């Protein structure tokens, strides 16, 4: 028996392809669809379907008769990995986007939802960032390859909508966290990276833990299940060529995050801020008024979300896996 919500665009017998279903975002969308009783999900591992292979992607869409697509597959990574592999990031993300979007158009997909990321906005965007800020200034150089490819994907959806009438729309999620996140000690984003460090400090009985930067930068965080609900809302009721920001619209300092993390993980020692590590941009928060006007609101507070993510990480043994064995599949840079 699924949770209660009435759907009209997404029908329960529809064939729904979630590309990237093993990652942070894709897995959250699958959980949410399943909880609403959608059972006709089409999920393919990388070994079963190589999204970089145009012919394979076309064959897949021709044979599978897909009705709806969530494009959660992307090559993603933290700032260091991203900046050192920009050729791979631009090539793979362009190919994944172009192959899926074009084949979806060719084989009559009814609606497609593409994922951008708040890190593809210009480096010096107004805060909170409105949708209109896209392409209004230079990008952050360290992730230019990734950003150019994702912007191309967003624009492909828009152009297929206006030229061919294909209902292909996009969302721009803020920093997300939750189950299936990447807990690599150095290559991850702040929540899983910090969670690992606090966990190891608490378990090891350390008297202090070090947090990167001054603690003053402000960031917005969204639990992946809240995002999944927003993605379903956009799939249901957003029908124009373009995209919508998805976030909480509220930000916290890294210092506040660290104290909440200590509470969740049970670390009682001293928190030291290492100002020799980069702070990055001082503030990053999205203007989410448009998506909220569709009736969506985030439900999970930062503390509750951190507790859920921590429970998942403990259950999945995410802290004890060797860094190399973690698949990096987290959108957002
Ligand atoms: P950003 O939002 O693109 O800057 O990406 P991050 O999530 O990597 O970093 C956000 C902020 O958290 C930056 O100011 C970091 O210096 C700070 N931070 C504190 N501790 C950590 C950590 O363990 N890992 C990461 N990635 N960032 C951290």
Which of 331, 157, 307 minimizes the C-alpha distance to 227? 331
pLDDT of residue 12: 87
Q: What are the CA-CA distances from residue 199 to residues 175, 258, 302, 306 (Å)?
A: 21, 12, 17, 12
- Beta pairing partners, 69: 17, 112
pLDDT tens, residue by residue, 148-163: 999 999 999 999 999 9
Question: Does the pLDDT at position 239 exceed 50?
Answer: yes
Give the rounded percent of residues in the chain with a pLDDT score beyond 70: 95
pLDDT of residue 5: 85
Residue 186 vs residue 330, higher pLDDT = 186
Cα end-to-end distance, the chain, whole Å: 37
**19 CA distance to ligand 1 middle (Å):** 27
Judge whether 146 counts as a catalytic residue: yes
- Cβ of 261 closer than 6 Å to ligand 1, yes or no, is no
Mean pLDDT, rounded, of the chain: 93
Place 325 in a pLDDT band, splitting at 50, 70 and 90. very low
CA 93 to chain centre: 14
How is the chain split into domains, by residue range? 9-328
**170 CA distance to ligand 1 middle (Å):** 26
**21 CA distance to ligand 1 middle (Å):** 25
Question: Does the pLDDT at position 238 exceed 70?
Answer: yes
pLDDT tens, residue by residue, 313-324: 999 999 986 544
**For ligand 1, atom 10: residue with the closest CA:** 190
Given the CA of residue 196, which atom of ligand 1 is nearest to it? 23
- Cβ of 187 closer than 6 Å to ligand 1, yes or no, is no
- Cβ of 195 closer than 6 Å to ligand 1, yes or no, is no
pLDDT of residue 322: 55
Place 329 in a pLDDT band, splitting at 50, 70 and 90. very low
**291 CA distance to ligand 1 middle (Å):** 26
pLDDT of residue 2: 53
Question: Ligand 1 pocket check: which of 140, 191, 256, 280 to mutate, most ligand atoms within 8 Å of Cβ?
Answer: 280
Please state whether the peptide bond connecting residue 128 to the residue before it is cis, i.e. omega within 30 degrees of 0.
yes
Q: Are 52 and 1 in contact (CB under 8 A)?
A: no
pLDDT of residue 184: 86
Q: Are 262 and 268 in contact (CB under 8 A)?
A: yes
Which of 109, 90, 89 minimizes the C-alpha distance to 100? 109
**For ligand 1, atom 24: residue with the closest CA:** 190
Given the CA of residue 280, which atom of ligand 1 is nearest to it? 4
Distance of alpha carbon 262 from alpha carbon 257, whole angstroms: 9
Among 105-119, 194-208, 274-288, where is mean pLDDT lowest? Answer: 274-288
pLDDT tens, residue by residue, 59-89: 999 999 999 999 999 998 877 778 889 999 9
Mean pLDDT of 283-307: 97
Residue 326 vs residue 112, higher pLDDT = 112
Q: Are 294 and 239 in contact (CB under 8 A)?
A: no
**138 CA distance to ligand 1 middle (Å):** 21
> Where does 112-253 have alpha helices with state H?
144-164, 190-204, 224-237
pLDDT of residue 231: 98
Pairing of strands 208-212, 243-246: unpaired
Which position among 36, 146, 177, 310 bears the catalytic label?
146
Distance of alpha carbon 218 from alpha carbon 197, whole angstroms: 20
Rounded to 10 deg, the angle between the 86-106 and 144-164 helix axes is 10
Domain 9-328, CATH class in plain words: alpha beta
Q: Determine phi and psi for 202, rounding to 5 degrees.
A: -65, -45
């Amino acid at each position: 028996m699924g949770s209660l919500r009435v759907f009209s665009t997404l029908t329960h017998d529809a064939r729904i392809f979630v590309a990237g279903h093993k990652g942070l975002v894709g897995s959250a969308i699958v959980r949410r669809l399943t909880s609403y009783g959608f059972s006709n999900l089409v999920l393919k591992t990388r070994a079963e379907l190589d999204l970089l292979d145009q012919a394979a992607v076309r064959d897949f869409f021709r044979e599978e008769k897909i009705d709806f697509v969530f494009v959660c597959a992307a090559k993603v990574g933290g700032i260091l990995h991203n900046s050192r592999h920009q050729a791979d990031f631009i090539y793979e993300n362009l190919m994944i986007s172009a192959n899926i979007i074009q084949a979806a158009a060719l084989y009559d997909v009814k609606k497609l939802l593409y994922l951008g990321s708040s890190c593809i906005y210009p480096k010096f965007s107004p805060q909170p960032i409105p949708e209109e800020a896209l392409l209004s200034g230079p990008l952050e150089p360290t992730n230019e390859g990734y950003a150019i490819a994702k912007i191309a994907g967003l624009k492909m959806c828009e152009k297929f909508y206006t030229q061919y009438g294909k209902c292909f729309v996009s969302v721009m999620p803020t920093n997300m966290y939750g189950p299936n996140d990447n807990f690599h000690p150095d290559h991850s984003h702040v929540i899983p990276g910090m969670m690992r460090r606090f966990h190891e400090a608490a378990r090891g009985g350390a008297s202090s833990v070090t947090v990167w930067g001054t603690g003053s930068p402000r960031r917005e965080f969204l639990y992946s299940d809240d995002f999944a609900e927003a993605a379903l809302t956009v799939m249901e009721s957003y029908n124009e060529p373009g995209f919508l920001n998805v976030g909480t619209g509220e930000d916290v300092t890294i210092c506040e995050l660290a104290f909440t993390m200590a509470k969740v993980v049970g670390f009682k020692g001293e928190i030291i801020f290492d100002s020799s590590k980069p702070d990055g941009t001082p503030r990053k928060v999205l203007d989410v008024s448009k998506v909220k006007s569709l009736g969506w609101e985030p439900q999970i507070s930062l503390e509750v979300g951190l507790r859920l993510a921590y429970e998942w990480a403990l259950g999945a043994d995410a802290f004890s896996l060797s860094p190399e064995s973690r698949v990096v599949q987290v959108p957002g840079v």
